Chain A
Amino acid sequence: MSESELLSAPAPTAMNYEIRPKPAGTSDAEVGGELLEVAMGPHHPSTHGVFRMDVVLDGEQVVKLKPVFGYLHRNHEKIAENTTYLASMPYTDRLDYLCSMTNNWAYALSVERLTGLIPPERAEYIRVITAELTRLVNHTCLIGFLLQDMGALGTPLMYAFRQRELILDLFESLSGSRMMCNYMRFGGCRADLPAGWLEQAAQVVGGYGQFLDEFQALISENEILVARSQGVGVLPAELAINSSITGPMLRASGVNFDLRKADRYGIYDRFPFRVPLGDHGDVYDRYMIRLLEMRESVKILEQALREIPAGPIIDPKAKIRGFRPKAGEAYGRIECPKGELGFYLISDGSPNPYRYRVRPPSLINLTVLEDMCLGQTVADAVIILGSVDIVLGEVDR
């Protein structure tokens, strides 16, 4: 062929496959495919750790999904029952390794319920500040990971991590460690704020609104995000309540329940803040709720950083050596970024807890994973799991 003939020939179509002739008497509707069983995980990158979903697929559609746990199980509870109360404090950092401060607080709160210790004013403020900073860290990371799951590779996650690093610097100067803070103690906190910490924190918090504006302008109305996440993985409110779903996932389904308002633990009754609620309970609402919660956290932080009083940081009655709560039991819970984190402790008067139980929000929020994924495609199952927000250190314990 000459050059001109080549140029004038019609371009080959992209989908020019050879189509196999169908057997006589069949139509497309009658060709039932076989069901395919796929084990997604434990090393699938979208499972955020070692977690497996046994999925049964009809073509691209999920018809059955069973989560499989235990790959990271180390029997945290048994280890804690074999050591003293305080010795488990650093180990709680490893439950949800993104939110060590709130884990510490939940444990300290439960022991305080058990013994009646009351933290001083300044410690309560420090706890609120660190917990809200942790919420910012967690939600920022989650949004980065969720977008990564949707295929926005790299950029949003790096934006999120850049911002997270500023808060981790604060944690490092406060506790000596970026992620494994081990900062709270029964009846207070371990160390006072270093000089200049409050100013540095105010600077980070002051810049957070700008980061959220930028992030929202870049991503929230992005056509692909909207198309991928709206109407996907819908969770009705009644099912959410009956399945003990907590945290942003519950509120995205429109249930107004936030332990900071319901229990008013610590000093949360002093902070006026709103509880954002979703309308549809889909992945987009869960994404949006987190952005809105971060704005409320920024408000709480600004007020707390302004009002924090001087004073002691630990109850002078708190004992470190010979810490033996009298026999009894207590259940304490806080609103950690992923939901309700509770510790149930039974004391028999000895230095070790007789029973130590962690109520893991990540695990219990997965109860409805199958309900949300049925009828959706595999790619949607990935982002539905991403929107639940799990950390395997806490799921498997």
Chain B
Amino acid sequence: METLEQIQARLTAEFPAARLERVANESAAGQPSLVVDHAHGQAIARWLRDDPALRLDYCSNVTGVDWLPLETSTKTRVKKVVDGVEKEVEETVKSVRPGYLEAVYHLYSMSLRHGPVILRLRTADRAVGAPVPSLTPVWRGAEFQEREIYDLFGIVFEGHPDLRRLLMWEGYQDHPMRKDYAEPDDYEYEPTPHDEVLEKAGKHAAAEVRP
């Protein structure tokens, strides 16, 4: 199979307006992936499925990932004038990468027996209900898995034929796979007046965990 660089080059030729970004993978598996923008998500997926050299007809795994905001600090040496004397001073620059939610698609080809090509669709931020385009119209195998991501992460898949919660019940409010999910104070339906339960609930009320 072509490498991801070659696939990306062909995609750029086919969709000049698409914003594509390659994500390296440092692990021993060495499975790099491709971030695809929303506007071209479905078109690129269709192209990958129908291209005769790739024929990625099998969407094996679809999953969500919750990336929290990441604070990175890099140390740089800067020349500065301190008390009239030029000195080299170490300065730490803090940068915050905003958090986002991500849907990851593992694509394989059953007919040509190769893969994986990994696609990633990213939301703009971590808000509940942040949209990404659904790829269920391209691969029906994504139907239940996208529903599961909607259920557990709160990503809304635009164009999904039947977007409902899959595992949690109707009327449930939260999204348990998010990293900031706070466990309920009491799993019983009615709150029980146990000391430790009340204490835990008080802590939650004091420090609003959820935004």
Contacts and interface: CB of A to CB of B under 8 A. Distances in A.
A330 B28 contact: yes
A333 interface: yes
Interface stretch (B76-84, B140-148, B193-201): B140-148
Contacts of B140: 239, 242-244, 367-368
Interface residues of B, number: 35
Interface string A155-184: 000000000000000000000000000000
A366 interface: yes
Interface stretch (A10-18, A146-154, A306-314, A320-328): A320-328
Given A77-B177, A78-B176, A114 B27 contact: yes
A344 B29 contact: no
A262 B58 contact: no
A75 B65 CA distance: 15
Nearest to A349: B26
A113 B176 contact: no
A124 interface: no
Determine which residue in B28, B57, B104 has the highest number of CB atoms from chain A within 10 A of its CB, and name it: B28
B204 interface: no
Contact of B60 (A75, A340, A396): A340
A340 B144 CA distance: 16
Interface stretch (B1-9, B92-100, B121-129, B161-169): B161-169
Contacts of B27: 113-115, 325-330, 347
Interface in B131-166: 139-145, 152, 165-166
A241 B63 contact: no
Interface in A75-113: 75, 77-78, 113
Interface stretch (A204-212, A269-277, A285-293, A355-363): A355-363
B25 interface: yes
Contact of B141 (A75, A329, A364): A364
B192 interface: no
B145 to A, nearest CB: 7
B48 interface: no
Given A243-B140, A257-B110, A364-B144, A331 B28 contact: no
B142 to A, nearest CB: 8
Contacts, number: 109
Interface residues of A, number: 44
B174 to A, nearest CB: 11
Contacts of B58: 241, 244
B46 interface: no
Given A78-B176, A330-B27, A347-B27, A70 B167 contact: yes
B26 A328 contact: yes
A313 to B, nearest CB: 21
A115 B29 CA distance: 8
Interface string B47-61: 000000000011111
B60 A70 contact: no
Interface string B15-44: 000000000011111010000000000000
Nearest to B162: A66
A327 B113 CA distance: 28
B64 to A, nearest CB: 8
A143 to B, nearest CB: 26
A330 B118 CA distance: 11
Given A75-B177, A113-B28, A115-B28, A344 B139 contact: no
Contact of A344 (B61, B142, B177): B61
Given A244-B60, A357-B63, A329 B25 contact: yes
A364 B145 contact: yes
A344 B139 CA distance: 19
B164 to A, nearest CB: 9
A69 interface: yes
Nearest to A333: B60
A31 B41 CA distance: 49
Contacts of B28: 113-116, 328, 330
B26 A326 contact: yes
Contact of B31 (A329, A355, A368, A396): A329
A396 B65 CA distance: 19
A75 B31 CA distance: 26
A180 to B, nearest CB: 23
Contacts of A115: 27-28
Contact of B110 (A73, A241, A330, A355): A241
A130 B26 CA distance: 32
A123 interface: no
B29 A113 contact: yes
B41 to A, nearest CB: 18
A329 B25 CA distance: 6
6 smallest CB-CB distances across A and B, nearest first, come from A244-B141, A328-B27, A116-B28, A330-B29, A70-B167, A113-B29
Given A243-B141, A244-B60, 14 more contacts: A75-B177, A78-B181, A115-B28, A327-B26, A328-B29, A329-B25, A330-B25, A330-B27, A332-B29, A333-B61, A344-B63, A347-B27, A355-B65, A396-B167
18 contacts: A70-B166, A75-B152, A114-B27, A239-B140, A241-B57, A243-B140, A244-B60, A244-B140, A262-B110, A327-B26, A328-B25, A328-B26, A329-B25, A329-B31, A330-B31, A342-B60, A344-B104, A366-B144
